[in-house]
Structure 1
Amino acid sequence: MPTIPPNSPPVALTPRLKLRPAAGWQGNAQVAPKSGAVLGDKPAITAPLSLFKPAEPAIVLDVKARPGARTLGDASADGALEYQPAEPAVYALLQEVHTADGVIYDVTLPDRQPGATRTLGDDQPGVLRFPIHQVAGGGAPDPRPRPRTLGLGDAVGGAVADAVTKRVLQVLRSPIDKALLAAVRRFEPAAQVQAWRPGGFAPLEGFEAWRALLPPGADHRVLLYVHGFGSSTAGSGGARFVPELAPGYDAVLSYDHPTATLTPLENAQALLAMIPDDLRLSADLVAHSRGGLVVRSLVELLEWQPKLQPRRLLTAGSPHAGTRLAEPERWDRLVSLGLTLGSWLISLGGGAFWAPKLLEFVLKAAAQSTFDLPGIGAMTPGSAVLQQLNQPDAPGLDERVPYAAVTSTFAIANVAQQGFRQAFASLAMQVFMGEPNDLVVHTASALEIDASSRAFTADQQFRASVDHSSYYQDAGVQAFVRGHLGA
């Protein structure tokens, strides 16, 4: 078991793995016994990794940082794991950070530097250097009582270091897959509308199912909910809330759709094509996250038809100006936040937020530099999709379809579990670098819509302090939704 004294030189762990400790680390590193599990004895994420396999034995790292404050996101305090690949493939490092409160995930790809490549096609691939982010680190705790919100550049305290019980690091490999995009398309669900009935949502399969629910020849008022990236009706908090509004509508509907391989406009077009032409629906549109771009496409980019007339629109945590997590160089941060949020929700007795399988596809795409996933690209700041959506609207649209938006600055004090509190702060700082955010979308982006011609008035916006997964579980958000819809 190699020991790591302060200011230790690089430590050889296996013939192909070398640990470069950060300055001030002290503790030990141990090669874990080989087992069938990818990481740890009892991974918190129940869905197994299937696209990646262990490239080397797992490394159990038990280190503490030397006392001394550091700012979250300070890469100078990071160590690194170096790996010499045996064969051309794509590689990633998955780190489990174990705390008394649960497991934090940090997924990283090799640094882009001389001698390190992401897609290995050379006969003699170079050494890969994986950063080991200080998800929690040393330093004296801050005794000052104050509100704790993300984006304020907090320092990591010594109590945080005590929360970490161990880290398990696993270098993973996956074959280079030229048909990766086709595999993602096969994995994502087909577009489908579901209708709320006592006991749950059930799919509307074919035009006759629509006509049985909403008979032609009459006007019907419906509520349509659209989920966000990597989610579904079953996995979305919004779809658990909107049935409470059912007494005010002839039907409550939810739209399941692929979010990685199609653009929001393509999602909207597919939705419209499912509705029989002989219906007359007046629709209130409620969306979460990326779903906000879908409903805006429906209202702003498609020709209105009698079968679906938008009435009111509300979005929560939607990246109207994009999110940096959608930028290809940050897809590993997207995966890290998704897995950590899922782990946190599972520890609280809830379900996963994003589908771990889709996150694994995103990680593999990033690892082999395959960034042609238009559903994610649409959320990149400055994307063609966002530029098109944020052009000035047709005159009078504001009056015809009143908009409202919910945003959030995630209050870190709302997380009781110390380990998760620091993980969220650290991961968010690596992406947002001091900007207030809800862990996935920066706070301002959820309100930045048609900036040259439209702004949300005070009564058209609500600011919460929840994380990105929890908008529709917040009582204040629920009251705001009811008020906007007149429910």
Structure 2
Amino acid sequence: MAQALSPDGTPVTVEGVTLSTPGLTGEVEVLPAGAPGLRMREGAADAFVAAIASAGFMEQLTIEISRPAEVASVAGLRGGGGPEITVSVPDPGRYFAQVLLYTAEDGTQSWHLPREPQGEPGRTVRATTSLTYTIPRAVQPAEAGGGPVHRGLIWAVGRKLLKVLAFPLLERGTAVVAERLATRWEAEHRPYLLRTFGPDDYTHTEGRGLDAEDWARFAQGPALLFLHGTFSRSDLAFRDLPPHRFEELYELYQGRVFAFDHPTLSADPAANAHELVARIPADRKLQVDVIAHSRGGLVGRELAQHVQGPRVRRLVMVGTPNAGTVLADSKHWGVLIDRMTNLLQFVPDNPVTDTLDAVLTVLKHLALGAVRGLDGLAAMDPAGAYLRERLNRPLPPDAGAPEVLHAITSDYDPPANSPLARVSRNGLTDLVFGRDGNDLVVPTHGVYRLDGVPGFPVPDPLLLQSHAGVDHTTYFTDPAVGERLAAWLR
């Protein structure tokens, strides 16, 4: 049964959950996992439920705050209180870790960790019976017309929805090692695979591994290699290329087209490139052109500059963080997972299940305070050792390089007054990137500008302006991108 909130900050307890909501009125109800009608009330997509389960999370409860309204002043409360409310929920126990997903009234989402430390069994023993979270108090108006026309992860428009989730710290009776969470998950869900990539299967999850007949064909002329980015796979990264454009490229290379699925969180681009070369038969000397999205461009540069493998003739980098992205700094990993979650929430047709479970793997690292074990993510840190000391340092005379570099980048602005604009920008200043243009994940100019690095700045990049509406996940939906790929590779 719903209970009224106390805007003076007096704690309210409902079904074992305690809320202090200074400056906020409304009603709160606590719904256990699996409560009748819960999915309908919260508007949870089937893909969201599947992704949560796939990542090993279980739902504990959902807190719904209906009719929320901020009050300017309340007797006994100065200035309407602070900007946050506090929520205390039952601790799932020492063999579980807990997180909270907050969905605001306008559908924007953010992940929250408890104030209390969590760790692996035997290392951290929690002495409390509850965990406490701080949640934004601000009431966000829903979009005009009752909400967006597409369905994202959860759509409890007009209400605050707090979903409490937990994941186990024991597997088959053995304590998990926090630093190896990403390694283990990627070994199962993002294994290495050099795969076929043709008009009939480039959007398919399962690609056939390459055989001797394929390698013999690839050695007969230049081949085209596709390299995906973080949180992704080949079919997810390039599925938005229109079929007619993909067929054009496929015919241009006479069927010599393949892709490389690889882990992006636990292994850095150098490790990816070495593994790619190790999977090519030693007696096959290949020439390749590369289309790379996001972090895949760093793998492409590794192939060209540092690894003795196929000769890279042309490298097309689409949204590649050549100068890094501050979201890869461990201090901003929380912002990164929130941003990726909101892209899944607001950008139509994103692959929710396949991407969210990768995002949740990073969330597990954060929940347990495990910074190590995410070498692939840290490799994109602008101030990190990988970019500074390896990929972006001056090349030695005997180092290789692509014969031709191309770049595609975007300066994306979410539609004015949209929820996505609110969570990514603060007025005219982006909360993470400052005033630099970006595609919500990678700085615009960092794709093609580097100081003192051979081949940079990349000449004649395709720069998609804000009116094109292209963010980091939607490059291949834009016709100009397909046209430029065909022109460069033709």
What TM-score does the superposition give when structure 1 sets the normalisation length?
0.78
8 Å contact kept, 1:408–1:437: yes
8 Å contact kept, 1:325–1:440: yes
8 Å contact kept, 2:25–2:69: yes
Q: What is the DSSP-based 3-state SS (H/G/I as helix, E as strand, rest coil) of the residue aligned with 1:224?
A: strand
Q: What is the DSSP-based 3-state SS (H/G/I as helix, E as strand, rest coil) of the residue aligned with 1:58?
A: strand
Give the match for residue 77 of structure 2. Answer: none
Distance across 2 between alignment mates of 1:185 and 1:170: 26
1:271 aligns with 2:254: no
8 Å contact kept, 2:5–2:12: no
Q: What is the DSSP-based 3-state SS (H/G/I as helix, E as strand, rest coil) of the residue aligned with 2:234?
A: coil
Give the match for residue 386 of structure 1. Answer: 387
Q: What is the DSSP-based 3-state SS (H/G/I as helix, E as strand, rest coil) of the residue aligned with 2:274?
A: helix
Q: CA deviation digits over 1:176-230, x for unaligned, max 9?
A: 352352532432322112233342247453541423533x5x4x11111101111
8 Å contact kept, 2:395–2:453: no
**Of 58, 61, 86, which residue of structure 2 is paired with 1:80?**
86
**Of 261, 267, 276, which residue of structure 2 is paired with 1:256?**
261
Task: Give the superposition deviation at 1:350.
Answer: 5.1
Distance across 1 between alignment mates of 2:296 and 2:36: 35
8 Å contact kept, 2:413–2:421: no
Kindly tell me: are residues 82 and 426 of structure 1, through their superposed partners in 2, closer, same or farther at Cα, counting changes over 3 Å?
A: farther
Give the match for residue 47 of structure 1. Answer: 50
8 Å contact kept, 1:65–1:138: no
Distance across 2 between alignment mates of 1:170 and 1:300: 46
1:245 aligns with 2:249: yes
Pairing 1:12-411 to 2, within 5 Å after superposition: 12-14=12-14, 17-21=17-21, 23=23, 25-35=24-34, 40-41=39-40, 42-44=43-45, 45-50=48-53, 51-55=56-60, 57-62=61-66, 63-65=68-70, 77-83=83-89, 85=91, 87-88=93-94, 89-97=96-104, 99=106, 103-111=107-115, 116-119=116-119, 121-125=124-128, 128-133=131-136, 137=140, 164-176=157-169, 177-180=175-178, 181=180, 183-201=184-202, 203=207, 205-214=209-218, 216=219, 218=220, 220-237=221-238, 240=241, 243=246, 244-250=248-254, 251-303=256-308, 305=309, 308-345=310-347, 348-349=348-349, 351-352=351-352, 355-371=355-371, 372-387=373-388, 388-394=390-396, 401-411=403-413
Task: Give the superposition deviation at 1:29.
Answer: 1.9
Distance across 2 between alignment mates of 1:37 and 1:232: 36
8 Å contact kept, 2:265–2:376: yes
Distance across 1 between alignment mates of 2:31 and 2:335: 26
Distance across 1 between alignment mates of 2:25 and 2:434: 28
8 Å contact kept, 1:229–1:290: yes
8 Å contact kept, 1:231–1:353: no
Q: What is the DSSP-based 3-state SS (H/G/I as helix, E as strand, rest coil) of the residue aligned with 1:271?
A: helix
Task: Give the superposition deviation at 1:289.
Answer: 0.9
Q: Name the count of aligned residue pairs.
A: 438
Task: Give the superposition deviation at 1:165.
Answer: 1.4
% identity of equivalent residues: 24
Task: Give the superposition deviation at 1:83.
Answer: 4.0
Give the match for residue 474 of structure 1. Answer: 478
Q: CA deviation digits over 1:425-481, x for unaligned, max 9?
A: 479955445543212223333234354655325513524431110112112233333
Q: CA deviation digits over 1:51-106, x for unaligned, max 9?
A: 22234x31101323458xxxxxxx9634332346363342211123464xxx4432
8 Å contact kept, 1:195–1:254: yes
Kindly tell me: are residues 136 and 470 of structure 1, through their superposed partners in 2, closer, same or farther at Cα, counting changes over 3 Å?
A: farther
8 Å contact kept, 1:97–1:104: yes
Distance across 2 between alignment mates of 1:206 and 1:138: 52
Give the match for residue 9 of structure 1. Answer: 9
Structure 1 stretches lacking a partner, 5+ long: 68-74, 142-162
One-letter identity of the residue aligned with 2:196: A
Distance across 2 between alignment mates of 1:35 and 1:225: 42
What TM-score does the superposition give when structure 2 sets the normalisation length?
0.77
Structure 2 stretches lacking a partner, 5+ long: 73-80, 145-155, 170-174
Q: What is the DSSP-based 3-state SS (H/G/I as helix, E as strand, rest coil) of the residue aligned with 2:485?
A: helix
One-letter identity of the residue aligned with 2:166: R
Distance across 2 between alignment mates of 1:35 and 1:91: 18
Q: CA deviation digits over 1:133-182, x for unaligned, max 9?
A: 4686369x9xxxxxxxxxxxxxxxxxxxxx94112102222233523525
Give the match for residue 159 of structure 1. Answer: none
Which structure carries more relative contact order (alpha carbon 8 Å, separation 6+)? 1
Q: CA deviation digits over 1:225-278, x for unaligned, max 9?
A: 101111112212367356242232132222111112211111111111222233
Task: Give the superposition deviation at 1:368.
Answer: 0.7
8 Å contact kept, 2:227–2:260: yes
